[in-house]
Structures are given as C-alpha cells and as structure tokens.
Amino acid sequence: MRARSLPVLLLLLMWSLSALLSLHNRRGREGSSGETFTPLGRLIRTFSLGNEELAADLLMAKAAVGYGRRREGRGRAPLSFGDSFDTVVEVDPFNEEAYLIGARLLSDNEPERAVTLLKKGAKRLPRSWRVPELAGSLLAWRVGEPLQGAELYGIASSRPGAPLYIPALASRLNREGGEITLALEILERFSLSRGDRTLFRGRIGALRREEELFRLSRSAERGLLPLAGVGDFGEGSAEFLPERLVDFLFQEGQTLILERVGPPYRIAFTSSGPLLWAGLRKELINTRILSAGLGRSLPLSLQERVLEPLFREAEEKAKVEGSGFWGIERVGELDDSASLPNFPWLGRVRVNPWRVERLGDGRFRLLLP
Amino acid sequence: MRGLRSALGLLFRELLGENLFLFVAILLLSLFPGLLLLKEMVPGGGEQVVHPGILFALEFVPLFFLLVYGTAALSRQRERGSLSLLFTRPLKREEWLAAHWLTLMGVLLFLELTLSLSASLFLRLLFGAPWLLPLGKHLFFSLLRAGVLTSLALLLSATLSRSIASTLFLLLSLIGQLLRSGLEASASGGGFLGKVVQGLSLLLPDLSLFDRKTELLYGLPLPGEIYLSTALYALFYGGFLFFLASLLFRRREL
C-alpha cells in the first residue's frame, strides 16, 4: 500500500508545486510591463482566408482595448501601438477609419508614428481627404512642422469633397512659412477645381499682391546693395556705409541715426518704417535701379554692366553740382521733412517693413525681409 | 543504468539514422519562414536586439518535432509490436521512457543549437546583425518549454494511439500557449465560470510562462527570479507529466 501510494503522493506534490509556481508567475506577470507584440500583417492576411476586413476590425478592436488598458495601467497591452495599427492597415489597407482611429490614438504619445501611418493611408486612399487632413493637422500643431503640414493640407484640398477650410489652412500655413507662391497656387487650384472663380477671390488677390511685393523686395534687395556701395558719401563714410546700410535694411529695431556723411549727401538709419529716398541726381539712378530690378530678378552681371556706369555718371554729376543725395529715413519724419536737409527733391523711394509697391512719381514702397 | 545507456544508443541511432534528412527539412522549414516571412514581425517598434524570426523558429522547431516524433515515440513501437520484444531485454519501463525523453531532448538541443548558430551566422553575414547574446536566454526558455512538451508528448504517446496523441498534443500545446489570454478573458468576465477556468488551467501546461519573446526582442530586463521560477515550474510540471506517464506506462498492456 505504501509503495503504491508513494508515486501518487509524489505526483500530487509535483503538481501542486508546479501549480503554485504557475500562480506565482501569473501574478508576477500581471504586475510586470505586460506587453505583447504584434505579428506580421501579411501573415494574418494570409491566414484570414479572404476575410481581411473582419481580421482587421478584430485587430483594431484589440489594439483599441490595449490602448485603454495602457491608459488605465492594467492588463496586457501591445508594446507599441504603432506596430498594432501598422498591422491593422497592412491586413486591410483600404480601411479609412483604421488610419484615422489609429492616428488619433497614437497622436497622444507618438505623433510622428501617427503621421507615418496617415501618410501611408494618404497614398493608399487617393480619394480620401480626411486622412491627409489629419496628417496635416498633426504635423502643423503636434509635431511642429507647419510647412510639412501645409503640404499635407494641400494634398487634402486636392481630394474630392474637401471642405473650404482645408485650402484656406494650407494657404495660411504656406504663407506664414514664407511660401507665398505655393499659398496662392493652392487657392487658385481649389477655386479652379470647383469651377467657381469667386472662391477665395479676396484672399487670392491679396496673395497675388503679396507675391508681387515679395518679388519686388527680392529684386530691390539686389538693386540696393550695389547702390549702397557707391562711394559718393565722402571719403570717411565710404568704408563703413555699405555694411551699415545692409545692416539697416535687413535688421529691424535699429535706432534712428541721421548722419551727415559729407556734403551734400546724407544717409539716415531708422528702426521701423524706414525710407530710402533719393536726391536730385541720384533719384534717377534709384528709380532706374528699382525699375529695372523690381518685378524680376536682377543678375549680378547685369547690375555691374548696366548700373555701374550709371552710378559713376550720377556720382560725377552729384559731385559737380553738389546737389545729389540718397538715403533712408523714418516714414513720419520724412513726410514732415522737418528734420531733413533742405534739398530739392525730385522723387523718393519709400520703404516699409512689410510692403513694396509703386507709389508713382518715382516712389516705391519696399518690403524688407 | 546499462539498460538505459543501451536504450539511448538504440534510440539515437534510430532517430538520427532514419530521419536525418527530415531534420534538415525541419530546420529549413523553420529557419526560412522565420527569417524571411517574419522579418518584420514587429514592424519598426523600438530597437530589437534579436531577430524575431529566430525566436519564432526556436519555438516552432520543438513543437513540430515533438508533434511528429514525440507523440509517436511509444505508440508507434506499440503499434508495430516491437515494444513487447524490446522488454525481453533487462530494461525497466521507466528507463525506456527516460531514454525516450533524453533522446528527444538531445535531438532538440542539437536542432536548436544548429538553428541558432546558423541563423545568427546568416544574419551576421548578410545584415551585420549582433548575434548570440540574447539567443542564449531564449534557448534557455525554449529548452525548458521543450522539456515540458516532451513529457507531455511521452505521456500521450504512452497511453493513446498515435493519431489521437498527436491531435491532443497539438491541442494542448495551443491551449497552453494561449492560456494566459484565456485566463485574462475569464478573469475579466468573472463569476463561477471564470473560477472554473482558472482552476482547470492549473492542470494544463502553462506554456505562456516560457514566452519571453517581447522581453528578449527588445532587450527588456528579466529578473533572475523569473529564470528560477520558470525553471522550477518546468522541473515540477515536466516531472509531474513524466511520472504520470511512467505510472500509466508501467500498468499498460504492451
């Protein structure tokens, strides 16, 4: 009897020990990270035997439940939700909701991963505007890449059914990022695709003007630099004038200094609302430079070939007649002209930080970068 | 002891001599799906310290091998009628069972080592991947799991016919692997049924305890207590199955 019961007792002992260890391990695992990893989507796709949509829905439900568990800090959850949703969209690549739900959940902690998921979706679903729209929004406001966000908004705006706010946002983000041409293109394309010329008419007009001003400023910038280098401000000032002028033109917040740089020429540096103005003879040059340069780019070779002789000519004339000058001043002060030297002016060029336009009579309003 | 030694020699010769090509096929079957199909088993999440395909292959090999050979170990001999002839030798039945266990584990160890080394070499040469370091840990858990599965296969083989044994083996292995998810589901449901499932689960092999793929894949820390408790579980539960098998085999008509 004893010999027979011994093996049974031994069996029971082993089983109970193993059961205890199993329970112990289970408890240990509940308290641990409790993370799982997701199998390859292609594998699930193969084994779903044509029921990819169903498999994807189940996987998505599982991932969403895992997400809730992770948030509440209980139970097992996928190691990376990016992996889970990658698998879901690999199993059923045409499920728009999977991309959207996945990205919204992922955007909490992994916005870059959410964007990657949505970019995949944007490629696979060429008629969906919601997928690139969400990607654009995440890029612009979560990841902090407004220009990339604008690009995605641009894609979304070209998709059928995209609401009006999408091209408006794309355009705004592009404009704020300095891509005025792109901003304009998006609105124009959208207006054309809808066959409604009145759409965004006001904004398109404003952007066209802004684009023109931007181009003007770029050209003006090229025209002004050699002008600043003309040595007709007296010997002492010739060395530092170009640098100071450039500094002034491309930096805001400088204090106004009205400086006599040798009779009869003057130059003024201002903090805001500056003016570039031309005197009796140099006005001709300024006007020609700006006319030649504004609205199109002016290559350096052209500046040297065409403008340099004009500089020299004007310089000579100004020296002989003692009445030519050019310079920069604050808008209000120049308009009053009280502080300005009493020179006979023929025209002037007006420079404001954010505007460039032709004012007539040889006057230009410039955009400073 | 001499009986055991001769039995081991006999079984090794039989297994390796008759089935060498099949073993190579198993290796290739497990290696290539593992390496190629499952290359992106965890697509881009975190930094993986070991190839997931190898982990899959290391789990697949024992299961497949034991399904084919383990469950047939005793039942095939019984069906052939060679078992009664065998016990004309001075050999105890427990010794014969132990010889089977050792042979199967020996072959499995050989297969898994070959697989790990060749896969690591392959990945090292092709992709310049780091090798060996995390595989040792996985081999540890994989062999513990294989030990429990071998005992299970022998228990089924000793008591049931070949086809039923292999079917039941596959079923129990799958249940064992999914036990943890099932337990979680039943626990979350609560109630009497949940408790019954929890109780029953203690009788079944809990193979999910050996599943440490996530930790190994991402190089997450594994405390020493886990190694110890898992090894003890394998020892006690494997021992329980083995003793049960030997008890039943001892009383069974040949």
ipTM of the complex in this document: 0.73
Top residue of B32, B38, B39, B41 to mutate, by most chain A CBs within 10 Å, is B41
Q: pLDDT band at B158, cuts 50/70/90?
A: confident
Per mean pLDDT, which range of A21-25, A145-149, A232-236 is the poorest? A232-236
Judged by CB atoms within 8 Å, which residues 31-70 of B form the interface with A? 37-38, 40-46, 52
Q: pLDDT band at A321, cuts 50/70/90?
A: low
So what's the pLDDT on residue A260?
27
So what's the pLDDT on residue B83?
74
Chain B residue nearest residue A32, CA to CA: B222
> HSE-up of A206 (CA within 13 Å, CB side)?
9
Q: Per-residue pLDDT for A327 more than 60?
A: no
Share of chain B above pLDDT 70, in %: 71
CA gap B135, B211 in Å, rounded: 14
Higher-pLDDT residue of A2 and B160 is: B160
Higher-pLDDT residue of A169 and A197 is: A169
Asked whether the beta carbons of residue B46 and residue A86 sit closer than 8 angstroms, the reply is no
The encoded tokens of residue A174 equal 């592009």
Higher-pLDDT residue of B87 and B234 is: B234
Asked whether the beta carbons of residue B229 and residue A42 sit closer than 8 angstroms, the reply is no
Q: Per-residue pLDDT for B124 more than 50?
A: yes
CA gap A20, A28 in Å, rounded: 12
Q: What is the mean pLDDT of residues B196-221?
A: 76
Asked whether the beta carbons of residue A40 and residue B37 sit closer than 8 angstroms, the reply is yes
The mean predicted confidence, pLDDT, of chain A is: 62
So what's the pLDDT on residue A231?
29
For B208, which DSSP code? G
Q: Per-residue pLDDT for B248 more than 70?
A: yes
So what's the pLDDT on residue A44?
75
Q: Per-residue pLDDT for B177 more than 70?
A: yes
So what's the pLDDT on residue B149?
92
User: Contacts of residue B227 in chain A, CB cutoff 8 Å?
Assistant: none
Give the contacts of B91 (CB within 8 A, at least 6 positions apart): B3, B4, B6, B7
Share of chain A above pLDDT 70, in %: 47
So what's the pLDDT on residue B136?
76
So what's the pLDDT on residue B93?
81
So what's the pLDDT on residue A134?
92
Asked whether the beta carbons of residue B42 and residue A21 sit closer than 8 angstroms, the reply is no
Q: How many Cβ contacts (< 8 angstroms) between chains A and B? A: 94
Residue B215 Cα, gap to closest chain A Cα (Å): 9
Say if residues B157 and B73 touch (Cβ distance below 8 Å): yes
* Residue A174 identity: N
Q: Per-residue pLDDT for A82 more than 70?
A: no
Say if residues A93 and A126 touch (Cβ distance below 8 Å): no
Asked whether the beta carbons of residue A18 and residue B229 sit closer than 8 angstroms, the reply is no
B102 touches chain A (CB under 8 A): no
So what's the pLDDT on residue B127?
62
Pairing assessment for the beta strands A347-352 and A326-330 based on DSSP bridges: unpaired
Q: Per-residue pLDDT for A24 more than 70?
A: yes
Give the contacts of A104 (CB within 8 A, at least 6 positions apart): A114, A134
Q: pLDDT band at A261, cuts 50/70/90?
A: very low
Q: Per-residue pLDDT for A247 more than 80?
A: no
Q: pLDDT band at B151, cuts 50/70/90?
A: very high
CA gap A214, B39 in Å, rounded: 52
Q: Which helix (H) or strand (E) holds A226?
A: helix A201-228
Q: Per-residue pLDDT for B214 more than 50?
A: yes
Per mean pLDDT, which range of A158-172, A228-242, B128-142 is the poorest? A228-242
The Cα angle at residue A150 between residues A112 and A175, in degrees rounded to 5: 140
User: DSSP readout, A246-289?
Assistant: HHHHH-S-PPPEEEE-STT-EEEE-SSSEEEEE-TTHHHHHHHH
A110 touches chain B (CB under 8 A): no
The Cα angle at residue A261 between residues A259 and A265, in degrees rounded to 5: 105
So what's the pLDDT on residue B129?
59
So what's the pLDDT on residue A310?
52
A283: nearest Cα among A236, A338, A323, A333: A323
Q: How many CB atoms lie within 10 A of CB B133?
A: 11
Q: What is the mean pLDDT of residues B47-55?
A: 59
Name the residue facing A17 among B37, B188, B236 (closest C-beta). Answer: B236
Q: Per-residue pLDDT for A331 more than 60?
A: no
Most confident option among A134-138, B35-39, B204-208: A134-138
So what's the pLDDT on residue B150?
92
Per mean pLDDT, which range of A150-164, A222-236, B1-15 is the poorest? A222-236
Share of chain B above pLDDT 90, in %: 7
Q: Which helix (H) or strand (E) holds B184?
A: helix B162-189
Say if residues B71 and B169 touch (Cβ distance below 8 Å): yes
Residue A25 Cα, gap to closest chain B Cα (Å): 7
CA gap B230, B226 in Å, rounded: 6
Q: Is A34 left (phi over 0), alpha (psi -120 to 50) or beta?
A: left
Asked whether the beta carbons of residue B225 and residue A28 sit closer than 8 angstroms, the reply is yes
So what's the pLDDT on residue B148?
92
So what's the pLDDT on residue A357?
40
Q: Per-residue pLDDT for A276 more than 50?
A: no
Q: pLDDT band at B126, cuts 50/70/90?
A: low
So what's the pLDDT on residue A346?
26
Most confident option among B18-32, B41-55, B65-79: B65-79
Q: Per-residue pLDDT for A15 more than 80?
A: yes
Q: What is the mean pLDDT of residues B228-247?
A: 90
The Cα angle at residue A313 between residues A307 and A314, in degrees rounded to 5: 90
- Which of helix, strand or coil describes residue A338? coil
Asked whether the beta carbons of residue B236 and residue A35 sit closer than 8 angstroms, the reply is no
* Residue A319 identity: K
CA gap B8, B102 in Å, rounded: 8
- Which of helix, strand or coil describes residue A35? strand
